[in-house]
């Protein structure tokens, strides 16, 4: 079961939800961020109303994140800027410029779990860890530079609010300390390491000794002991620090993934150029294995449609009525963004995906239990 929503013909670069999921912020592949409000009592067929347009950026928006508790939106773009948006009493959003101090495009942005800071990746081969400086009433940043050798493509925070994992286009995944003494207390040691100085690299993993591909998406598990990532060589990797630093890598036959997220202690969903979210599970040995596709309902219908198309192909006129380029998936183009809609990383029950086809789909994970023969997602 899923809800399908269409927001026009423009690709959706990224999206983010507010706390109660009544509003969504998305970028239609340009310099704007559109905020939509769902009509009360909405469901699969509900309508969305455009209530605001955030147009402070000059170039294409590359990242959006909505802090659920403080209700602040952070955006970054190819114009090398980031803005923190706060809602005023009249419901409008007021931007505050962030001093990123970068000379290349910003590529991704992520609030920390406590929402007192956020990280911005960029093409300048550095990560900007940003926090609010109350004395001057502005957002400032500190840089993590070494040993990055290429564009930072994805980020995620450890649940302890201090550790930060980053994937980049140099085929490497790196784990850093992003401790900022101005806004937080010194954290206790973790299984990943005990050093807390900002920019200290605690771990580094190569996607492949023979090359591999760009790291496109990364995600920490709910307990922070495991991290998974997907790369452009159509692989998905996993490291469980409680069992050592060995990388478990699964090469898939699908098109490259762009995003991944934990939906349970032993369950990961990945999505990307294949237009269909895939569920992967962890077996008793700690290795990854394919679970199922989330597009179960479409798969059942595809058999009848394919037989109909064969019959219609006998008639040239009927053949023209059927699009030969239509995919047998709900998304008709690459899935660009993957978010948890309901639940947490430890027990997610619904996911949302947006794609280059202008669609936003909300997936229900509970029916997948039957297809996995009783293996619980939670």
Instruction: Kindly report which listed range (38-47, 136-145, 217-226, 350-359) carries the lowest average pLDDT score.
Output: 38-47
End-to-end CA distance of the chain, in Å? 18
The whole-angstrom separation of Cα 227 and Cα 91 is: 38
Instruction: Return mean pLDDT, the chain.
Output: 88
The whole-angstrom separation of Cα 17 and Cα 205 is: 31
Q: What's residue 301's pLDDT?
A: 42
Helices (H), the chain: 296-312, 316-321, 368-371
Give the three-class secondary structure for 309. helix
Taking Cα atoms as reference points, which of 52, 62, 53, 112 lies closest to residue 82?
62
DSSP string for 62-103 = EEEEEETTTTEEEEEETTS-EEEEEE-TTS-EEEEEE----S
- Residue 319 DSSP symbol: H
Q: What's residue 356's pLDDT?
A: 96
- Residue 28 DSSP symbol: -
pLDDT tens for 274-325 read: 999 999 999 988 899 999 999 865 444 444 455 555 555 555 444 444 455 7
- % of the chain with per-residue pLDDT over 70: 87
What is the CB neighbour count within 10 angstroms for residue 49? 10
pLDDT tens for 258-276 read: 999 999 999 999 999 999 9
Q: What's residue 135's pLDDT?
A: 83
Query: Does the pLDDT of residue 375 top 70, yes or no?
Result: no
pLDDT tens for 24-59 read: 999 999 999 999 999 876 555 568 999 999 999 999
Q: What's residue 208's pLDDT?
A: 67
Q: What's residue 328's pLDDT?
A: 87
Any bridge partners for residue 67, and if so which?
72
Query: Does the pLDDT of residue 352 top 60, yes or no?
Result: yes
Q: What is the mean pLDDT of residues 244-249?
A: 92
Q: What's residue 154's pLDDT?
A: 97
Q: What's residue 326's pLDDT?
A: 82
Q: Please give the model's pTM, rounded to 2 decimal places.
A: 0.89
Four-point Cα dihedral 64, 230, 355, 23, nearest 10: -40
| CB 69 within 8 Å of CB 53 | no
pLDDT tens for 203-242 read: 999 976 655 789 999 999 999 999 999 999 999 999 999 9
Q: What's residue 13's pLDDT?
A: 97
């Amino acid at each position: 079961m899923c809800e399908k929503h269409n927001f026009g013909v423009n690709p959706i670069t990224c999206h983010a939800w507010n706390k109660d999921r009544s509003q969504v912020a998305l970028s239609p592949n340009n310099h704007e961020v559109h905020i939509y409000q769902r009509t009360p009592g909405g469901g699969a067929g509900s309508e969305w109303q455009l209530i605001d347009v955030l147009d402070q950026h000059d170039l294409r928006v590359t990242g959006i994140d909505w802090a659920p508790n403080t209700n602040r939106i952070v955006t970054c773009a190819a114009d090398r800027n980031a803005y923190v948006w706060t809602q005023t009493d009249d419901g409008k959003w007021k931007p505050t410029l962030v001093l990123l101090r970068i000379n290349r495009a910003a590529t991704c942005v992520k609030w920390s779990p406590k929402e007192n800071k956020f990280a911005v990746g960029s093409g300048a081969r550095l990560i900007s860890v940003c926090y609010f400086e109350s004395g001057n009433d502005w957002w400032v940043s500190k840089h993590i530079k070494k040993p990055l050798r290429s564009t930072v493509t994805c980020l995620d925070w450890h649940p302890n609010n201090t550790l930060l994992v980053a994937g980049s286009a140099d085929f490497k995944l790196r784990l850093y300390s992003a401790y900022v003494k101005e806004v937080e207390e010194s954290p206790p040691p973790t299984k990943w390491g005990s050093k807390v100085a900002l920019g200290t690299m605690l771990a580094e993993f190569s996607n492949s000794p023979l090359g591999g591909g760009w790291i496109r998406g990364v995600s920490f598990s709910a307990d922070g002991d495991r991290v998974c990532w997907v790369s452009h060589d159509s692989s998905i990797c996993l490291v469980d620090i409680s069992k050592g630093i060995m990388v478990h890598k699964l090469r898939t036959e699908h098109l490259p993934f762009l995003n991944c997220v934990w939906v349970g202690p032993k369950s990961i969903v990945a999505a990307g150029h294949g237009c269909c979210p895939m569920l992967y599970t962890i077996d008793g040995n700690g290795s990854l294995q394919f679970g199922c596709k989330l597009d179960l309902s479409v798969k059942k219908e595809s058999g009848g449609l394919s037989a109909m198309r064969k019959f219609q192909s006998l008639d040239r006129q009927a053949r023209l009525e059927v699009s030969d380029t239509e995919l047998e998936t709900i998304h008709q183009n690459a899935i660009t963004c993957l978010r948890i809609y309901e639940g947490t990383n430890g027990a997610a029950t619904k996911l949302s995906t947006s794609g280059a086809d202008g669609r936003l789909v909300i997936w229900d994970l509970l029916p997948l239990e039957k297809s996995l023969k009783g293996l619980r997602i939670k």
